[in-house]
């Protein structure tokens, strides 16, 4: 087949770098935005924090003393757009196409997708979970072979602290990879040593073995601990399914004694390798919006926290004027580089301003839509509201509103809530009234909180209660709302 050339036209939609940057900034919550601004200040020397004592007359005086300057500045210290266009004409990329030595920034393409962003962070970490286990292994009196076996076993332990690989397979692995002839008994012996390490329960092969290791390592072997060992060892299936009646009958103990034993077991750690559970359980929530009610009217403000005012560096503007006068190769390269940094800084400032405006418009629309709720705090006053309602009101795309509401919190007089909790589907009552699904979820949660824990309500029973209140809702919808509220099934809510 002969090669041939042809021309054709096609329409293709591409996002500008400024649009991509705006989308990324829009979906960042307050704390993440602070980090992003700090990162941009470090990466771009043409961007700097605005000084409150900054005198704008300095720029005017500088312009008067430099009437023949190639770059004109506006009142904010920015390059006027017409001058940037003139520089583009005077110092264009085509002037460099014949040069052999070109810097990398001339060929960089900034129109990257959201998934193509790469950032480098310096993270200081201590020894990880496996290194800590190896350190404890080195403190034991082991032979060289036993130490090698121990290191291999530690490498097979997963992030939850469990050994998922079969002992027989470990024997084969050691023979093929390390030329070590061992047997199941020898592997079991080294594994027992590892199971004595901290955190307690590490190296277990099942949840049952993990709990037993922790119970046996308790210093005070009280009656409750001994009974807990018996339950985990002999009645684990009944305990996991909460068949407490069978346990009471088999062990011949009272309900009060069983409650104390359950208290001991529930305080054990089922994932000994996950050492970050407690440290991450109480993370700080910084609200993005502050909502108050003044004279019966809800008002809001955006939480700016420690975000600085940004401006273009005056020194970089002076450098651009200076290098733009030079007609040699070095001057052109410096001009192109400095101008790219200034443009990038201006795009970042414009994107922050556009983000602020978008947040203001969308939050104002939400306040107007849910005005009754923000005045009274009664969740029954929440109206059904979807992203399309706000997008239509502010004349923006639904994806823009979704990014605005993503991971954002609003601090109200009634608590701090995720912004997306104010969005809900609509449900019809028997009278034909449209109500929010959040109102139904609240009724569902109240029913579960008030239920008899000895005989918790099933999904069918909850469905009947909602129908009695006028909410014609299917059982599968009740199950869906229950899962969204992180409420377990009736069997798992049963107590002694």
CATH number of the domain encompassing residue 477: 1.10.10.60
Residue 364, in any domain of the structure: yes
Which CA distances in Å does 71 have to 62, 78, 477? 12, 10, 65
pLDDT at residue 276, as a whole number: 52
The rounded distance, in Å, linking the Cα atoms of 383 and 372 is 9
pLDDT of residue 126: 52
Q: What's the pLDDT at 129?
A: 83
328-to-87, 91, 332 alpha-carbon distances in Å: 15, 11, 6
Which two tokens mark 228?
Answer: 């807990």
Out of 395, 423, 451, a domain closes at 423
Within a domain: residue 58?
no
The separation between CA 208 and the C-alpha centre of its own chain, rounded to angstroms, equals: 32
Whether residues 406 and 484 share a domain: the answer is no
In 115-235, alpha helices (H): 129-138, 144-156, 167-177, 184-194, 207-216, 223-234
Residues 417 and 289 in one domain: yes
- E strand or H helix at 436, and its extent? strand 434-436
Nearest-angstrom CA–CA distance, 472 and 158: 47
In a domain, 3, yes or no: no
Give the per-residue pLDDT at 163.
93
Could you give the CA distance from residue 388 to residue 105 in angstroms, rounded to a whole number? 41
Asked if 476 and 436 count as a contact pair (C-beta separation under 8 A), the reply is no
CA atoms within 13 A on the CB side of 230: 15
| The pair of three-digit structure tokens given for residue 302, joined into one six-digit string | 């955006």
Residue (of 479, 484, 488) closest to 420 by Cα position: 484
Q: Going by C-beta distance under 8 Å and a sequence separation of 6 or more, which residues neighbour residue 173?
A: 152, 165
Is the domain of 461 the same as that of 476?
Answer: yes
What is the per-residue pLDDT for 242? 84
Residue 47's φ and ψ, nearest 5 degrees, are -105, 135
Residue ranges making up the domain that contains 179: 127-198
Q: Are 186 and 213 contained in the same domain?
A: no
Co-location of 193 and 265 in the same domain: no
Q: Are residues 152 and 256 in the same domain?
A: no
Domain final position from 198, 216, 232: 198
411/294 same-domain check: yes
Task: Please tell me the pTM assigned to this model.
Answer: 0.55
H or E stretch at 268: none
Cα torsion angle, 213, 216, 219, 220, sign: positive
Q: Are residues 183 and 289 in the same domain?
A: no
> Is 243 part of a structural domain of the chain?
yes
**Buried b or exposed e, range 205-233, using 16+ CB within 10 angstroms:** eebebbbbbbbeeeeeeeebbebbbbbbe
Sheet holding 297-302, edge to edge: 297-302, 289-294, 409-412, 415-418
Alpha helices in 222-328 (DSSP H): 223-234, 236-240, 244-251, 255-266, 314-324
Per-residue pLDDT at 52: 55
Identify whether residues 294 and 412 lie together within a single domain.
Answer: yes
Same domain, 288 and 383: yes
The neighbour count for residue 43, using CB atoms within 10 Å, is: 12
Residues of the chain with pLDDT under 70: 1, 13, 51-127, 275-284, 306, 428, 430-434, 496
- The pLDDT, as a whole number, for residue 3 is 83
Number of domains in the chain: 4
- Last residue of some domain: 271, 292, 325? 271
* Residue 52 within any structural domain of the chain: no
Task: Judge if 314 and 348 occupy the same domain.
Answer: yes
The answer on 29 and 157 residing in a single domain is no
Cis ω on the peptide bond leading into residue 199 (within 30° of 0)? yes
The set of residues, in sequence order, having a beta carbon less than 8 Å from that of 58 and lying 6+ positions away, is 314
């Amino acid at each position: 087949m002969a090669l041939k050339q042809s021309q054709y036209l096609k329409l293709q939609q591409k996002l500008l770098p400024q649009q991509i940057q705006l989308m990324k900034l829009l979906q960042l919550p307050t704390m993440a935005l602070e980090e992003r601004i700090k990162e941009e200040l470090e990466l771009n020397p043409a961007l700097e924090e605005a000084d409150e004592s900054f005198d704008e007359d300095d720029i005017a005086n500088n312009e008067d003393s430099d009437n023949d300057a190639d770059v004109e500045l506006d009142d904010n210290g920015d390059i006027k757009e017409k001058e940037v266009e003139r520089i583009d004409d005077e110092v264009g990329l085509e002037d460099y196409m014949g040069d052999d030595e070109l810097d990398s920034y001339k060929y960089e393409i900034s129109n990257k997708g959201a998934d193509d962003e790469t950032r480098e962070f310096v993270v200081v970490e201590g020894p990880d979970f496996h290194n800590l286990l190896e350190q404890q292994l080195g403190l034991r009196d082991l032979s060289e072979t036993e130490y090698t076996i121990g290191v291999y076993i530690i490498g097979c332990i997963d992030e939850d602290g469990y050994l998922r690989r079969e002992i027989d397979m470990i024997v084969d692995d050691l023979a093929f990879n390390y030329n070590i002839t061992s047997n199941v008994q020898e592997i079991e012996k080294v594994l027992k040593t590892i199971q004595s390490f901290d955190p307690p329960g590490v190296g277990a092969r099942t949840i049952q073995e993990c709990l037993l290791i922790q119970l046996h390592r308790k210093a005070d072997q009280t009656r409750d601990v001994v009974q807990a060992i018996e339950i985990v060892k002999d009645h684990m299936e009944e305990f996991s399914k909460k068949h407490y009646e069978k346990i009471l009958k088999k062990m011949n103990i009272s309900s009060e004694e069983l409650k104390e034993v359950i208290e001991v077991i529930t305080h054990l750690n089922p994932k000994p390798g996950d050492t970050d559970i407690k440290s991450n359980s109480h993370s700080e929530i910084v609200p993005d919006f502050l909502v108050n009610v003044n004279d019966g009217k809800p008002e809001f403000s955006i939480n700016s926290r420690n975000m600085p005012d940004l401006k273009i560096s005056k020194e970089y503007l002076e450098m651009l004027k200076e290098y733009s006068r030079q007609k040699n190769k070095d001057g052109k390269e410096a001009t192109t580089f400095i101008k790219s940094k200034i443009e990038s800084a201006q795009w970042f400032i414009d994107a922050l301003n556009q983000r602020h405006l978008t947040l203001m418009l969308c939050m104002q629309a939400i306040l107007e839509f849910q005005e009754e709720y923000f005045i009274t705090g009664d969740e029954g006053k929440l109206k059904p509201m979807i992203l399309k309602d706000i997008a239509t009101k502010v004349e923006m795309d639904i994806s823009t509103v979704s990014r605005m509401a993503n991971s954002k919190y609003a601090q109200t007089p009634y608590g701090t809530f995720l912004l997306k909790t104010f969005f809900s589907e609509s449900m019809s009552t028997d009278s034909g009234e449209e109500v929010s699904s959040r109102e139904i979820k609240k009724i569902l949660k109240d029913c579960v909180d008030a239920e008899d824990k000895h005989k918790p309500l099933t999904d069918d029973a909850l469905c009947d209660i909602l129908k009695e209140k006028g909410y014609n809702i299917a059982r599968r919808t009740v199950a869906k709302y229950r899962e969204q509220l992180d409420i377990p099934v009736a069997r798992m809510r049963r107590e002694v």
